[in-house]
Structure 1
């Protein structure tokens, strides 16, 4: 079997993997990148912001059950991550507020991906596409590379000082999603790349790695039920970000969560409701201020209700609350009961139950814009356990020699909370690369 020797093997060519590889070659290290897809970039192709909590206090408030060491590392190293992007000549916009509590920078993720690839190749790194990683190579309890099937069908052993797993999570595996997220997760549409099916998790667990807490949630957004994604632009266009200013009712005709904490959190809660669908109700004020506006400063504005209606979603306009009684029977809701609850919520104001902590304004201005919504999945929070340097941990909490992970392959950072996806991929991709090659003597040549 032919072999390759390298300082660093990176499995996965998304945001985390390409960041790690570009960092390592910048330090004069030899790098091999293996990607199962025919294209690079993973789900980062569809992103546009790197953002996270601006302080430890905010991080602890919004993500109290996340691993403390990972939380601290993300906050502390975020600025260095932005500086790294800029060092590659990629423009990052000035900081803006994201999801009410975060701070982040808009940048050209596809430009960044292309620049990482260019630098990897210009520095002698190898990038193998359409290549399947079959297993990790081990010696004395540590990882020393991987066995890979190349696009030609030839199998190859890649021996490395260190290996980084960055395959993008397991959202494309209904089996793993149903096991680790929720049984109903198998039915969610995928708003990410279709090739992240748990390869990193499988490889890591096969050599004794620990994984994150089950039912720790996922990142996703509400979308109109019955509307299929036509292309990747729909991942953003169809996401009903404005739900944090609206009201959401389940099939029992009741609110079940505080919508105002954020659409990404409401999405997790809706997954666990009957049939994982609910009626999203906004009034004219919400339509005017939020449905037709920009979700994040700098993002394009789009009339989400109009798009959902044009694409055949379950949508309707009620001129007043009395007209809720005419909701189509086949939808399965009691419109009159929902209207009564809206009246009661408007009267209760800040004392509504569940509370509406961040927007308790009454929804009392007709017409009302009604969309039936369901959750869509971007990536899971369950994954490989790592330390703050990206080192993979075993069940005892010890690092597995030679093995690292970054990006959506990892677990522990978030537990039913979220402060960005690109930022952790960036921060821990850099951390893993730095630690993976820290003790190397002058570079080993690829052969």
Structure 2
């Protein structure tokens, strides 16, 4: 192993959290090396386009009651500073818009932002090493002091390189790309899901943190993802948005027994978790002409490009159906495995309850209008995973916590590698990566100043 390079901050992972931390750190005068296992920096954040979260502590508590209190408060309190930082890099950020009925967010060009952060790091003399894996963390007397790297990953000509760092940040994007970790920490049937993210987030940060004695969790926290049409593999990253059936919040979703099993209006991302628990983890999404007009072919959030998701699913070979009346739902294809008459009866029952102003079962918190305007648009939906909520435990300064509850010296984490913030609830992954990426840079700056003092 060659003599190690010495830096103030080593960042493992060049996505939203890692590049944010690297750019902020070099602006503070720190020496920085950023390591990325993929061939390009940016990660899944390139396909986002929005940063949003709950606008108040009350809203966060209402929608995410079991999340870690200190992390929730930090996200709400520091989100505006995160948006200001994006603007400070020269990237245009739109005015705040409502998201999901309770959140507030800002549209911005995430590609431009990530490329800008990369440029800031490089122009300040920092390094960004792509196609580079992390073999292990360097540990000295219980403190993390950098890592040993393998450059040229996947080329067959990799060489080892050591980096000694006052602070090391884990920001590898989660473990959704690792089937066994998903089955262990997300759900026994998590292997059924399509991967709605880049393929490189396979638990590197999680395993590195565990090797340093980090605490992980929480158990049973769930995951972030969306419903997608069944039988259609993602062809490219644009599908992550185009194939997501966000409109499920206004439609009705039935399992194989022809039963509603969740309040769809709480959010497509929550219904996605609920569907994973259902028989064969698949269900039938039914919309009428009102939902089709207002939501299927409309923009999920203001300013987003509208996509006719029904037409796209049909064009790509998904299981879709068109019914001129409710009675035609009796004729669902037998090979799909659904009881058509049961689905039709369930829609009729929902419509009668909704028309009478009564509470359906399961409940319907928001859109309680009946689906009584033919024709009907039917899509079979399955869950897809973006990242897990189980991860490395941190405090509100992005310091990794050990199993004893105290920070592991020299080790930081941010973004989807972390756990504790969300617990079967969600209010913005890009916002979290932004806020705690900045927190990690600030923690590294404090460590560097203490070392130089």
State the TM-score, normalizing by the size of structure 1: 0.98
Alignment map for 1:332-351 (pairs within 5 Å): 332-349=337-354, 350-351=358-359
Aligned match of 1:123:
124
SS of the equivalent of 1:361 reads coil
Matches of 2:313 and 2:444 in 1, distance apart?
47
SS of the equivalent of 1:264 reads helix
Aligned match of 1:432:
440
Aligned match of 1:23:
24
Aligned match of 1:266:
271
Tell me how far 1:440 sits from its aligned partner: 2.3
Aligned match of 1:103:
104
Q: Deviations over 1:124-155 (max 9, x none)?
A: 10111111101111111111111111225221
Among residues 208, 222, 226, which one is paired with 1:217 in the alignment? Answer: 222
Aligned match of 2:414:
406
Q: Which range is displaced more, 78-87 or 127-136? A: 127-136
Aligned match of 2:162:
157
Matches of 2:401 and 2:111 in 1, distance apart?
31
SS of the equivalent of 2:227 reads strand
* Residues 1:175 and 2:180 are matched in the alignment: yes
Alignment map for 1:70-89 (pairs within 5 Å): 70-89=71-90
Matches of 1:268 and 1:441 in 2, distance apart?
44
Aligned match of 1:286:
291
Aligned length: 444
Contact 2:98–2:104 (Cα < 8 Å) also in 1: yes
Tell me how far 1:442 sits from its aligned partner: 9.0
- RMSD over aligned Cα atoms: 1.1
Tell me how far 1:43 sits from its aligned partner: 0.6
Contact 1:46–1:192 (Cα < 8 Å) also in 2: no
Among residues 281, 298, 303, which one is paired with 2:303 in the alignment? Answer: 298
Contact 2:257–2:342 (Cα < 8 Å) also in 1: no
Structure 1 gap segments, 5+ residues each: none
Matches of 1:441 and 1:411 in 2, distance apart?
28
Matches of 2:127 and 2:378 in 1, distance apart?
52
SS of the equivalent of 1:113 reads helix
Tell me how far 1:205 sits from its aligned partner: 0.4
Aligned match of 1:383:
391
Among residues 344, 361, 375, which one is paired with 1:367 in the alignment? Answer: 375
Aligned match of 1:139:
140
| TM superposition outliers: structure 1 runs of 4+ over 6 Å | none
Structure 2 gap segments, 5+ residues each: none
Aligned match of 2:403:
395
Contact 2:255–2:278 (Cα < 8 Å) also in 1: yes
Matches of 1:244 and 1:367 in 2, distance apart?
19
Alignment map for 1:316-355 (pairs within 5 Å): 316-349=321-354, 350-355=358-363
Q: Which range is displaced more, 193-202 or 133-142? A: 133-142
SS of the equivalent of 2:158 reads coil
Q: Which range is displaced more, 166-175 or 151-160? A: 151-160
Q: 1:289 to 1:218 in 2, by over 3 A?
A: same
Aligned match of 2:43:
42
SS of the equivalent of 2:374 reads coil
Aligned match of 1:57:
58
* Residues 1:416 and 2:424 are matched in the alignment: yes
Matches of 1:63 and 1:442 in 2, distance apart?
36
SS of the equivalent of 2:217 reads coil
